[in-house]
Amino acid sequence: MLNEDYPDRGNVGPTPAMTSRADETFLDYIADLRSVLMMSPAKKVHPKANAVIEAEGIETKATAESVEAVRDVVRRKLPEAGVWARVYRSTQQAFWNRVCESYGLREDAFLRMLEESDQSGPGSVEWDPDYVYPDYAKVEIHLQPGGYVGHPLAGLRYDYGTRVFGGKVSENDYLHKAMAAKVPTPRDGRVERIMDIACSVGKLTCALKERFPQAEVWGSDISAPMVRYAHYRAIEQGQTVHFLQKAAEDLDALPADHFDLVTVHILFHEVPTPVVDRTIANVYRLLRPGGTFWISDFPSLGNDPHGLHYTNLLGAIDSADNSEPYAPEFVRSNVEAKLQKAGFSLRYENPADMNVHGRVCDKPMKGE
Ligand SMILES: C[S@@+](CC[C@H](N)C(=O)[O-])C[C@H]1O[C@@H](n2cnc3c(N)ncnc32)[C@H](O)[C@@H]1O
């Protein structure tokens, strides 16, 4: 990305590099810190914290009172969990600030880049500059400044930020490519049209196109900055993918019985329950008979005791510190039951295995 004040440092895969080497080094350090200190200690800290919370009889909810009660007991009875949560939040604030500052130095150049890619191919993007976002979509999920919709470079920020957030597990889109490789196909094997809902920067969308090169592949997301940047990113990879700014609960304009495969990766725990319910109904309408719906997300406690992991420490402190206010509501629901009620037949679900299998269901063939 050329700008007369800064040298072009190129891309990291399809993602524009940080503006300076110093920014990159700092962010690598934070990513490594999160991997080393956060990921493995978290496995030890969470069960201990959950045991303390349960022993104290605290009901965990995503309310301020509940979060405070959890913090209080964790501070008193298990200081290491309190430190874990504090460091987790601090590293998160630190990396978002640096990502926003670093890209911000070249904001004009990035805006021009998006304007150019809006008009270019392969593939396409449709978005509405006057789109009115519902309030829930403005939440600063993961503490990202401006959230998904509040800044024109939100997609770019999210792309680099999530590399750091996950301790580089999604480096070079490995995670999404691995997921795409395992996404199930309809029982008759026909995959001609795919829709990836809440596609964000289009990593899964492009990985699906790579796996099914003959298919027409679409990605939709409520956020204009996300779909615009997803399109830029797809062009960088030479992928013909079509992106649409559309809310998952508002896909009525798309044809019924149309898609062979619909995917939704980690949307449901970030939105209120009525959005989940309307999305499930919409997907049922969009899929052709025999079509397949794949959902990858947190487990539902309603269906699996593993969900407990997400309700106690994570449900309270993480929901607050990572700013995921709807996650506890989702975890307490029973998505499998909702899918069946909507008419799907459940083929497979493994809630403990969220990034790989999640839930797979099929729209019955006519007469089934
Ligand atoms: C965690 S990200 C999804 C990640 C993405 N599926 C992936 O695999 O990289 C959540 C995305 O959902 C989008 N979103 C939030 N509410 C939405 C809604 N009602 N309909 C469609 N997209 C929504 C956000 O803009 C954001 O891009």
HEC-encoded secondary structure of 8-20: CCCEECCEECCCC
User: Of 219 and 67, which is predicted with more confidence?
Assistant: 219
**Mean pLDDT, residues 96-123 taken together:** 97
The confidence score (pLDDT) of residue 93 equals: 93
pLDDT-based confidence at residue 368 (cuts at 50, 70, 90): confident
User: Of 302 and 327, which is predicted with more confidence?
Assistant: 327
Q: How many Å apart are CA 247 and CA 197, to the nearest integer?
A: 9
What is the arrangement of strands in the sheet containing 345-350, beginning at the earlier edge strand?
124-126, 242-245, 216-221, 193-197, 259-265, 287-296, 358-362, 345-350
Q: Which atom of ligand 1 is nearest to the CA of 179?
A: 8
Give the model confidence (pLDDT) of 110-143 as tens digits: 999 999 999 999 999 999 999 999 999 999 999 9
The confidence score (pLDDT) of residue 314 equals: 62
Give the number of other Cβ atoms within 10 Å of residue 147's Cβ. Answer: 21
Q: How many Å apart are CA 287 and CA 184, to the nearest integer?
A: 14
The confidence score (pLDDT) of residue 263 equals: 97
**Token representation of residue 289:** 């008979």
Domain boundaries, the chain: 171-362
Q: Which atom of ligand 1 is nearest to the CA of 148?
A: 25
Q: How many Å apart are CA 49 and CA 314, to the nearest integer?
A: 10
The confidence score (pLDDT) of residue 27 equals: 96
Give the model confidence (pLDDT) of 55-76 as tens digits: 888 877 667 787 788 888 888 9
**Mean pLDDT, residues 161-181 taken together:** 85
Q: How far is CA 40 from CA 46, 82, 167, in A?
A: 10, 16, 11
According to DSSP H, which parts of the chain are helical?
Answer: 21-33, 40-55, 64-77, 79-104, 107-118, 154-165, 174-182, 203-211, 224-236, 273-286, 308-311, 313, 319-321, 327-332, 335-341
Ligand 1-lining residues (CB < 6 angstroms) = 137, 148, 176, 198-200, 203-204, 221-223, 226, 247-249, 265-267, 270-271, 275
Lowest mean pLDDT among 126-130, 218-222, 306-310: 306-310
The confidence score (pLDDT) of residue 355 equals: 55
The confidence score (pLDDT) of residue 68 equals: 82
Contacts 24+ apart (CB under 8 A), 1-9: 1/106, 1/109, 1/110, 1/113, 2/109, 3/105, 3/106, 3/108, 3/109, 5/105, 6/105, 6/106
**Mean pLDDT, residues 98-109 taken together:** 96
Query: For the chain, what percent of residues have pLDDT higher than 90?
Result: 60
Distance from the CA of 261 to the center of ligand 1, in angstroms?
18
The confidence score (pLDDT) of residue 26 equals: 97
Instruction: Answer whether 126's CB lies under 8 Å from 119's CB.
Output: no
Average pLDDT, the chain: 89
Residue keyed to tokens 């030479």: 238
Residues 6+ apart with CB under 8 A from 206: 173, 176, 233, 234, 237, 239, 241
pLDDT tops 60 at residue 234: yes
- The neighbouring-strand residues paired with 294 are 263, 360
Q: Which atom of ligand 1 is nearest to the CA of 196?
A: 6
pLDDT-based confidence at residue 325 (cuts at 50, 70, 90): confident
pLDDT-based confidence at residue 356 (cuts at 50, 70, 90): very low
**Mean pLDDT, residues 316-339 taken together:** 83
pLDDT tops 60 at residue 334: yes
Distance from the CA of 199 to the center of ligand 1, in angstroms?
6
**Mean pLDDT, residues 225-251 taken together:** 97
User: Of 86 and 295, which is predicted with more confidence?
Assistant: 295
If one residue of 163, 222, 241, 273 were mutated to test the ligand 1 pocket, choosing by the most ligand atoms within 8 A of its CB, it would be 222
Give the model confidence (pLDDT) of 143-161 as tens digits: 999 999 999 999 999 999 9
| Run of H or E including 221 | strand 216-221
Instruction: Answer whether 15's CB lies under 8 Å from 148's CB.
Output: no
- The neighbouring-strand residues paired with 345 are 362
Q: How many Å apart are CA 172 and CA 329, to the nearest integer?
A: 32
The confidence score (pLDDT) of residue 197 equals: 98
Lowest mean pLDDT among 112-116, 155-159, 182-186, 318-322: 318-322
- Report helix, strand or coil for 165: helix
Query: For the chain, what percent of residues have pLDDT higher than 70?
Result: 90
> Is the pTM higher than 0.85?
yes
Instruction: Answer whether 183's CB lies under 8 Å from 262's CB.
Output: no
Q: Which atom of ligand 1 is nearest to the CA of 247?
A: 20
Q: How far is CA 262 from CA 90, 185, 247, in A?
A: 36, 10, 14
**Mean pLDDT, residues 319-330 taken together:** 83
- We find that the CATH architecture of domain 171-362 is 3-Layer(aba) Sandwich (3.40)
